[in-house]
Amino acid sequence: MAPDNSPAQLPPKRQRKIIHVDCDCFYASIEMRDDPRLGNKPLAVGGTPDRRGVVATCNYEARAFGVRSAMSSHQAQKLCPDLVFVKPRFDVYKEVSRQIHAIFQDYTELIEPLSLDEAYLDVTQCELFNGSATLIARDIRRRVWQELNITVSAGVAPNKFLAKIASDWKKPNGLFVIAPHEVDDFVAVLPVAKLHGVGKVTADKLKRRGIVLCSDLQTWSRFDLLREFGSFGERLWALAHGIDERQVKVDSQRQSASVERTYDRDLPDAAACAKELPELLAKLEERLTRLADRYRPERPFIKVKFHDFTQTTLEQQGAGRDLDSYRRLLEQAYRRGNRPVRLLGVGVRLTDLREAALQLRLFED
């Protein structure tokens, strides 16, 4: 018999199956769960109006009045006079988040946390429910509700970009699936404003060029988008075609460490702001000490939020992390607004020492 010289047949590549899980108004849900008297009342978790607080999150009853996260508590109370304010209990939220992640681990080890209340799961290799990502997502939602009395929304799709959009499609307490054969039709009618990285400015710029839906964006070539939007044009082209090759990152890297404080009374000028720096920097150093084995601090930065909620962030390559260096950064940042300040933050960009060591070994080899 003649030898078989045909090329070896490789096993077919598995279609990726990504689930994005997002808890519904997480902090507020926990507060309503733990205190049934809060049920059906408009509720905000955050600081109180008399303390110049900010809304961390709110329930859907409050959102019906226009209350939103990151809104000043004073403005929130104006919109909803009956709004109930609850002080955050972050230790409780972290513990519930840990319990939710323990449920995730029964399905996959490929989990990328985005925050306490949301995460990506890659269930491509999961054999439960005959490998059905839809049934896996449904079971996760069932268990989180039955075991923790918390509702979560989930999106299922072939990639992270679409899974995240899908999880928001039927919120709250919903499940939405974008199957591989549905991607083209789904993306074609998707507003470009929904694309990751497209903020109001970019959306307005696209609209002026007649681009409202991804189908409009698909008529542009890669080259034209690169010319018009720089490196972001490549990303726009890919997303408009439903393409996202990003992997679920199990061990996510920190990009920065920072400390910030909102003041009960506005700091009137730059000199008053400078007096707050030593305390902020001391707290920052404490945080950096805990990261010392893994990260190296690099560029310092400073964040200033003015009394009208406009804000600016300034960083400088090569600057020191001493008090005088931060003072100089603060002076420059303050001049951008030159008005009373409600929040100050100090921080530093980080380099992952393990990644740096890996790169060094690659060059040595």
- What pLDDT, on a 0 to 100 scale, did the predictor assign at position 78? 95
Per CATH, the architecture of 183-240 is what?
A: Orthogonal Bundle (1.10)
Q: Specify the 3-state DSSP secondary structure of 175.
A: strand
Show pLDDT as tens, one digit a residue, over the chain (365 residues). Answer: 444 555 445 455 678 999 999 999 999 999 999 999 998 899 999 988 887 788 989 999 999 999 998 889 999 999 999 999 999 998 899 899 989 998 998 899 899 998 889 999 999 999 999 999 999 999 999 999 999 999 999 999 999 999 999 999 999 999 999 999 999 999 999 999 999 888 888 888 899 989 999 999 999 999 999 888 888 889 999 999 999 999 998 866 677 888 888 888 899 999 999 999 999 999 888 888 877 667 888 889 999 999 887 888 998 877 888 899 999 999 999 999 999 999 999 999 888 776 544 444 444 44
Half-sphere exposure (CA, 13 Å, Cβ side) for 318?
Answer: 0
Query: Binding site: what residues are annotated?
Result: 22, 117
Which residue positions form the known binding site for Mg(2+)? 22, 117
From the candidates 118, 234, 276, 286, which is the catalytic residue?
Answer: 118
Q: Does domain 29-89 have CATH number 2.60.40.420?
A: no
CB atoms within 10 A of CB 103: 17
Who's near 110: CB < 8 A, 6+ residues apart? 121, 122, 123, 124, 125, 248, 250
> What is the H or E stretch that residue 343 is in?
strand 341-352
Task: Name every residue whose Cβ is closer than 8 Å to that of residue 73 and which is 6 or more positions away in sequence.
Answer: 44, 46, 47, 48, 49, 51, 52, 53, 54, 55, 85
Superfamily of domain 18-23+91-182: Reverse transcriptase/Diguanylate cyclase domain (3.30.70.270)
Joined together, the tokens standing for residue 68 give 């939103």
First vs last C-alpha separation in the chain: 46
Entry pTM: 0.70
- For residues 154 and 150, give the distance between their C-alpha atoms in angstroms, rounded to a whole number: 13
Please give the helix or strand (H or E) that residue 157 lies within, else none: strand 152-157
Domain ranges of the chain: 18-23+91-182, 29-89, 183-240, 256-358
The question of whether 245 is a catalytic residue gets the answer no
The fold adopted by the segment(s) 256-358 is Dna Ligase; domain 1 (3.30.1490)
